[in-house]
Chain A
Amino acid sequence: MRAYIIRRLILVVPTLFILSTIVFLTVRFVPGDAIDAMVNSSDYLALDLDRETLLKQLGLDVPMYVQYGRWMQDMLLQGTFGESLMGDWRVEEKIVSRLPITIQLGVMAIVIAMLIALPVGIYSAVRQDTVSDYIGRTLAVIGLAAPNFWLGLLVMIFPALWWGWSPPLEMVPFTEDPLASMYGTLIPSLILGTGMAAGTMRLTRTMMLEVLRQDYIRTAWSKGLRERVVIIRHATKNALIPVITGIGLDLPLLVGGSVIMENIFNLPGLGQLALQALLDRDYPVVSGVNMFFGAAVIFINLIIDLIYPYLDPRVRFR
């Protein structure tokens, strides 16, 4: 058990290191013309940029290993991702200020996904090959096929036309008015959640089917336990373990989805910050947000792996 935890913790170090290298290199591969474009665009932005100062500001005037060392040093020792090229603000401060909305969106999406996926998936497995199973599976397959940005657009346009209702476009901070704030992210998280539910529902169903065939479930039935007890207390407990891992693996997709939703529904979250930075070619912000999201996904998956032994005793003794 301790060996498992230690091994898992040690594995994070190289992964984080490689992640930082990928993030670093993608930005460093910026071809010259992008820098020229920044110099050119600085004219109408009334920023006084020339090639040399820009290279210096980007830290591109020294050899690459020095650049990497500096970047890592800033990040590890000073906890900073550097300054934006577009204004006088630090990247990590902006990330912190934009984070709550993205977290709210993500958490609501996961909760909605689970509220749909678990009951439908479990029911579908218990009543395998019935009409309701078939309907559940068909909906899941359609849910997997419909692109979330299209659903977002439809929700923006058609309810407004038919009923004169449109999703709120002003975002209220959660601390000010939790209910109004949750109402603001309800529609986008519904779209993200239903999309995520489709995959999770299929996984839940497969896992349930596997567990339901096992001996201890037969024993539970033959003891004369009620169906509800067999399904909920005996079967789901084991079937849901891989589903939790599945949520962790879905996180990168969820981040991508929130970039799209924040764009459509005009939510000032991290995704919108990243998108704007990409359009502005504001590379310190781009690498900061990328590093942040990558590290967040790695840490959440680490936490899931660390609580795993408590959920599944088989892992504990391996």
Chain B
Amino acid sequence: MASETIQLGTPPRRRNRFLGFMARLVKDKPLGTFGLAVVLVMLVMALFAESLSPYPHDDVSLIDRMKAPSWQHPMGTDHVGRDMLSRVIYGARVSLIVGITATALNISVAVLVGGTSGYLGGKFDLGIQRFVDAYIAFPGLLLLLTLMSIVGQGLLQIILVLGISGGLGGSRVLRGAVIAIKENDYVLAAHAIGSERWRTFIRHVLPNVVPIIIIGFSITIGGVIISEASISFLGFGLPREIPTWGGLLSQEGRQFMEIAPWLAFWPGACLTLVIYCLNMFGDAMRDLLDPRLRGAGN
């Protein structure tokens, strides 16, 4: 990778922590690096979908209806002759936009809820945790579908629903981490010299949660993308005009899949590949950033 050569060429004192981390990733975690590389390719696909896709995603051509994969249409065409490759490329855009923003929101909610609950402790913690208990017991997909049917279909809606409701579930991990950190001597020392409660939280506790936040992000994002796809698959996600991987597999296309089986294959294959790569990358991040968890859950 290019970053590695730059890092080797620079004198040690200018060693960048990020580049150093990347070098370790490449050296120790080949699968994680592969995962990151594929995700980056998908990200480029998502960003430059307009120039990369051979046809506009909504270009209807009735002569080309349900064409099997060929050189003109590597993934075939759907029931109104739209090019599947182009639609899959545009689908990457939705998956990644939703994946990244909803996960960011998810982790922020988790930090806010889990962090304050663990830090303040006492009755506040007890109350919040009963709420989280009830929330975790709730079948996630059903709750997501219920919320989506209330707020309506749309990009912003799905991001908010996935972000907020996922964050409540994920707050447990952060609560645990904060509880462990607040017992450390340096936090007690900060209290002892009269540091304000919130100042201590922000200056001394939060920075130590950052590795867990990064791990949480890379582990959560795959699940968020699957949730978005499942919701769109069931028809509660994004409006039909926007191609999404889940949506491409949903009701509208399903009736034609027996005649045009390629319609069923590619969106799901891309989804599986991205989730696999994100999981590999997430596992690698966890191993590198948190030695205590190394190998856990392998």
Contact = CB atoms under 8 A, between A and B. Distances in A.
Taking chain B's interface residues, is the majority helix, strand, or loop, or is none over half, making it mixed? Answer: helix
A297 interface: yes
Given A149-B249, A153-B249, A202-B297, A297 B137 contact: yes
A284 B131 CA distance: 23
Contacts of B222: 145
Interface string A235-256: 0000000000000010111011
B12 interface: no
A158 B230 contact: no
Given A141-B280, A144-B279, A160-B258, A252 B134 contact: no
Nearest to A12: B133
B90 interface: no
Interface string B143-176: 1011101100000000000000000000000000
A139 to B, nearest CB: 12
Contacts of A9: none
B191 to A, nearest CB: 30
A109 to B, nearest CB: 14
Contacts of A290: 138-139, 142-143, 146
Interface stretch (A29-37, A110-118, A172-180): A29-37
Interface size class of A (residues with CB under 8 A): 35 or more
A137 B298 contact: yes
Interface string A253-292: 1011101100100000000001100110100001001100
B296 interface: yes
B271 interface: yes
B279 A141 contact: yes
B217 interface: no
Nearest to A28: B150
Interface stretch (B41-49, B79-87, B116-124, B260-268): B260-268
A157 B130 contact: no
Contacts of B254: 153
Interface of A: 11, 14-16, 18-19, 22, 26-27, 29-31, 34, 137, 141-142, 144-147, 149-151, 153-154, 156-158, 160-161, 202-203, 205-206, 209, 249, 251-253, 255-257, 259-260, 263, 274-275, 278-279, 281, 286, 289-290, 293-294, 297-298, 301
6 contacts: A11-B130, A145-B275, A147-B271, A149-B246, A161-B258, A260-B230
Given A260-B233, A301-B137, 19 more contacts: A11-B130, A26-B146, A26-B150, A141-B279, A142-B272, A142-B276, A144-B275, A145-B272, A146-B268, A150-B267, A150-B271, A150-B272, A153-B264, A157-B264, A206-B298, A253-B139, A255-B141, A256-B139, A256-B230
